[in-house]
Amino acid sequence: MHTLSIYEARRWLLEKKISSVELTQCFLDRIHRYSHLNAYITLSEEQALASAKKSDERIAAGSSTGELDGIPLAIKDLFLTKGVRTTAGSKILHNFIPPFESTVSQKLLDAGAVFIGKTNMDEFAMGSANITSHYGNVINPWSQGDKKLVPGGSSGGSAAAVSGHLCVAATGSDTGGSVRQPAAFCGIIGLKPTYGRCSRYGMVAFASSLDQAGPMTKTVRDAAIFLQVISGHDPKDSTSSPESVPDFASFVGKTVEKMKIGVPKEYFLEGMSSEIEDAWKKGMDIMRDAGAKIIEISLPHSKYALPAYYIISPAEASANLARYDGLRYGFRAENIKTLIEMYEKTREEGFGDEVKRRILVGTYVLSAGYYDAYYTKALQVQKLIKRDFTEAFKKVDIIMTPTTPSSAFAIGEEPKDPVSMYLNDVLTVTANIAGLPGISVPICLDKLNRPLGLQFIAPKFREDLLIQHGYILEQNASFPTLREIA
Amino acid sequence: MKYIETSTGKWEVVIGLEVHAQMISNSKLFSAASTKFGAAPNENVSFVDAAFPGVLPVINSFCVDQAIKTGLGLNGTINLVSHFDRKNYFYADLPQGYQISQYKSPIISGGHVEIEDENGEARKVRLERIHVEQDAGKSIHDQSPTKSYIDLNRAGVALMEIVTMPDLRSADEVSAFIKKLRSILRYLKTCDGNMEEGSLRADVNVSLHRPGTEYGTRVEIKNVNSIRFIVSAIGFEVDRQIEVLESGGIVDQETRLFDPATGKTVVMRSKEDAQDYRYFPDPDLPPLILEQSRVDRIRETIPELPDAKTARFQRDLGLPHYDAALIASEMEIADYYEDALTHLPSGDAETAKILANWMLGELFSLLNKDGKNICESNVSPKNLAELIQLIKTDVISGKIAKDVLKIMWDTGKSASVIVEENGLRQITSAADIDDCLRAVLAEHSDKVAEYKNGKEKLFGFFVGQAMKKTQGKANPQLLNDVLKKLLGEK
């Protein structure tokens, strides 16, 4: 029962093979059994069972219409959930109970979803291994033996929860790769929509011009169903797009014959393992066999994407995180005498090292005298990267790349200097910089039995192409479902 | 140009202003919270205003219209594309940790306001820009010896920052500028101009230099909230800078605060301590893009503004500039005046002037006495016009009219009713006045004799006695004429 996809679970529920309460209880039991994975920060067991019961009543009454009615989901702890603690993985919000619901989670609730809990994440979504969380690191369910693998980040808790079958699907958020990279590390589907496709209202902001909510699911079809629910313009988010939302599920199973798939030569990274290259080639073979054409393309400014990202995102974060001052909500340091002392102690004790590092970097790059050298330059780079993609999409319909330059690494074996750690996002970050949609689809396991993923990047508002191509890849990759958690 | 002369020579004062005008709008610039003044602390605060995690600003379209209207009314250029930036600084009453403002590309560029210089000559004060931004909340430090409190009612309220070029040359000009600006904003209904409530406050930049040389270093006086304070702050600052310069010192570029209690400015922060606000484009707000049609539509709603009205009153009604400008300074006053004028059969210059005199003189003193504004007047424009008509047609004298107006004010009755009820109609029959005067002279034959012996100031005494007999109703001119005739006979 716990391995069911949204699509399957919905059928089973409507056919009354299972009840939502049973399904929910099954996940709650598994969460407790595998609590060492530390995938969740906060569980809402009673609320989950109560809402599952209501779903069952609707199903019994034949009035169940929501596409997610009765489906237990996990919500990344970055989405504000009314009445359920939301920490963003930070001590500074350790006691924050939101008085309102984020638009994305509200849409899921409106579709009948059952929320079982809030998943662990890198603090304020800043990290690629889920080791910056104040609530402890998350363990990748694919870990074997003594080596505990990271799940990737920042949506590491969601990725672990989905791949370890501790929920049917989960929300993630992706600023530089935070949905796709952990999806690749955990062998699941992670889709980052076009910037503006989903509302950011009620998502704890990291880098506002890049942040985007996205589904983390077991199948591509689920990603389509999930994306359908959370997409659409929101008057509460001025950056959300009025673009019409197509029927994503209708692209499941659509042929890719004659489609042109671009393979950017710049993504053959120096020092990238041959296993990654082999995985990529396997993907090319699958797509070619399905009738698509593989075309080499160039995205010449790709190498500047990561540096630009690490200027733009900390700059925005330095302002976005200024509101955590201990005054109105969240953590406030004790024994303070002055306003300045309150700011200093609260933020010193409330934020972790990575968050502080990025606030400092962001403050620095926006400072008088440095602004043009860093921030203005980064925006210029962003323009060039956008242009690269515009040019590329004149030649091809979609782009395929590896999602990550490596498979998941063991906790404790992660790069010790922050810059090497940042390289985890090197293949995903361009899509954020360009505002484009991307999906990571598991392709195979490496020699160490660790999942690898491939990424598709499509033009703006062409998530339909991601579904179409992702599904073909998924169906032919025969990636195994995780059965045993060590 | 007006210079300040000291023993060392002439100084020219250069002043530029940054006026913060609180915009009239029911809700805040980026949230739906109310802007109503006088609410209980933190009553008008949304999650957006309190900067909860995950909230996002959404521009209030009405505030954009108000900004456009202001720009048009102040002769500025409306920029069809403008941007919002974040101005970063930490303070307890700034929940976001940044203020959303417009830094690089404001919604309005340029513009000007016309003032009169000391010679009564019209002079344009150029505007550099007008941008839209959020107000901060209020820190309250006087409620507890150990704690400060925060009231976020004002946090997020829309402000317009109106920045002038350094075109002002004296405190008087600054005062005239702010009065004119306030008047225009009130006409446009984009700012109530209420300085006591903080709806209009100014940062004043002052520098001094020798005529013909480059401008001196400017000092900024922050957040002065009354014209009187602005005038005294400038006065103090000019004296201070002259003293510094004439004793061989240099003026530091610094920010000062005006203390109304002492009438002095004191250093708030020096140039070295100047904050780096790290402005950058607010990623939560797309560029503000306006359709020209929207600007055109708003242009049509701009009322006749004070300068145009003053000119029209002078040209069409023959009013002196002083009266015309005074009446035109407030739209409500001008409306009252024009309304009253429509109720008068003759719109000639004489009538227009009499009406102006009565309104600016007698009516205003009644309004002031009761602390009312023109819209709350107990005497309607129609009733004032009727009173004027009674004076003009000699039904009552000016003197009686003052009493009538007082009764009108107290009772709300019309002038004609009061005149009839109290029998105040002027005696204009020469025969009646003749009878009355003959009686007075008969009663005071001794005084008549004295008059005839050269004590001519007794003339007034006889007039007084006759007025007393007629309860002041005798037509004064007629009374004079008849009295002269009678005294001449005897």
ipTM of the complex model: 0.96
**Averaged over A401-406, what is the pLDDT?**
95
d(CA A58, CA B468): 96
CB B216 within 8 A of CB B241: yes
Decide if A82 is catalytic: no
| Pair (B352, B291) in one structural domain | no
| Contact across the interface for A208 and B283, Cβ inside 8 Å | yes
- DSSP letter for each residue of B115-157: EE-TTS-EEEEEEEEEEEEEPP-EEE-SS-SS--EEE-TTTT-
Residue with tokens 């010193």: A348
| Contacts with A416 (C-beta within 8 Å, 6 or more apart), sequence order | none
Domain of B464, in residue numbers? 430-489
Domain of A166, in residue numbers? 1-486
The pLDDT of residue B397? 83
d(CA B255, CA B270): 6
Chain B positions touching A318 (Cβ under 8 A) are 88, 278
B284 touches chain A (CB under 8 A): yes
Q: Give the pLDDT confidence of A152-197 residue by residue, as tens digits.
A: 999 999 999 999 999 999 999 999 999 999 999 999 999 999 999 9
A245-254, A390-399, B144-153, B332-341: lowest mean pLDDT where? B144-153
Q: Chain-wide mean pLDDT for chain A? A: 96
Residue with tokens 């909500």: A329
Q: Is the dihedral of CA A374, A377, A381, A386 positive or negative?
A: positive
| Pair (B220, B114) in one structural domain | yes
Decide if A154 is catalytic: yes
Chain B positions touching A98 (Cβ under 8 A) are 52-54
Q: Which of A64, A178, A199, A241 is catalytic?
A: A178
The CA distance from A323 to the nearest CA of chain B, in Å, is 5
The pLDDT of residue B471? 82
Chain B positions touching A328 (Cβ under 8 A) are 50-52, 95
A38-52, A256-270, B455-469: lowest mean pLDDT where? B455-469
pLDDT confidence tier of residue A30, bands split at 50, 70 and 90: very high
| Pair (B330, B247) in one structural domain | no
Chain A nearest-CA residue for B148? A339
Of A239, A318, A322, the CB nearest to B286: A239
Q: How many domains, chain B?
A: 3
Q: Which of A44, A55, A76, A143 is catalytic?
A: A76
| Contact across the interface for B150 and A315, Cβ inside 8 Å | no
Low-confidence ranges of chain B (pLDDT < 50): none
The pLDDT of residue B489? 66
| Pair (B89, B233) in one structural domain | yes
| Pair (B261, B135) in one structural domain | yes
Q: Is A377 helix (H, G, I), strand (E, B) or coil?
A: helix
Residue A49, token pair as written in the block = 């069972």
Chain B nearest-CA residue for A375? B280
d(CA A398, CA A395): 9
The pLDDT of residue A227? 98
| Pair (B443, B399) in one structural domain | no
Chain A positions touching B92 (Cβ under 8 A) are 325, 327, 339
CB A260 within 8 A of CB A445: no
| Pair (B13, B152) in one structural domain | yes
| Pair (B86, B125) in one structural domain | yes
- Domain with B471 in it: what CATH number? 1.10.10.410
| Contacts with B144 (C-beta within 8 Å, 6 or more apart), sequence order | none
The CA distance from A2 to the nearest CA of chain B, in Å, is 32
Final residue belonging to a domain, choices B391, B421, B451: B421
**Averaged over A426-449, what is the pLDDT?**
97
| Pair (B91, B120) in one structural domain | yes
Is pLDDT of A414 > 90?
A: no
d(CA B418, CA B411): 9
Chain B nearest-CA residue for A241? B286
The pLDDT of residue B434? 87
| Contact across the interface for A322 and B54, Cβ inside 8 Å | no
Of B54, B58, B284, the CB nearest to A204: B54
| Contact across the interface for B53 and A323, Cβ inside 8 Å | yes
| Pair (B136, B199) in one structural domain | yes
The CA distance from B18 to the nearest CA of chain A, in Å, is 22
| Contact across the interface for A208 and B284, Cβ inside 8 Å | yes
| Contact across the interface for A209 and B95, Cβ inside 8 Å | no
Chain B positions touching A79 (Cβ under 8 A) are 54
- Domain with A266 in it: what CATH number? 3.90.1300.10
Q: Give the pLDDT confidence of A68-113 residue by residue, as tens digits.
A: 999 999 999 999 999 999 999 999 999 999 999 999 999 999 999 9
Chain B nearest-CA residue for A364? B278
| Pair (B163, B228) in one structural domain | yes
| Pair (B203, B317) in one structural domain | no
Among A238, A318, A335, A347, the residue to mutate for chain B (most B Cβ within 10 A): A238
Decide if A76 is catalytic: yes
Final residue belonging to a domain, choices B298, B328, B352: B298
* Residue with more model confidence, A128 or A413: A128
B51 touches chain A (CB under 8 A): yes
The pLDDT of residue B445? 85
Q: Give the residue from B327, B394, B335 showing the smallest Cα distance to B358.
A: B327
Q: Give the pLDDT confidence of B217-239 residue by residue, as tens digits.
A: 999 999 999 999 999 999 999 99
Q: How many domains, chain A?
A: 1
pLDDT confidence tier of residue A121, bands split at 50, 70 and 90: very high
Q: Which of A51, A128, A143, A154 is catalytic?
A: A154
DSSP A480: P
Q: Give the residue from A386, A369, A203 showing the smallest Cα distance to A308.
A: A386
- Chain A: which residues have CB within 8 Å of chain B? 79-80, 86, 88, 93, 96, 98-100, 102, 200-205, 207-209, 235-239, 315-316, 318-319, 321-323, 325, 327-329, 339, 343, 363, 366-368, 371, 375
Of A98, A203, A322, the CB nearest to B88: A322
d(CA A170, CA A81): 14
Final residue belonging to a domain, choices B402, B421, B440: B421
The secondary structure element, H or E, covering residue A364 is helix A353-365
Chain A nearest-CA residue for B151? A328
Q: Give the pLDDT confidence of A327-379 residue by residue, as tens digits.
A: 999 999 999 999 999 999 999 999 999 999 999 999 999 999 999 999 999 99
The pLDDT of residue B78? 98
Of B55, B98, B148, the CB nearest to A322: B98
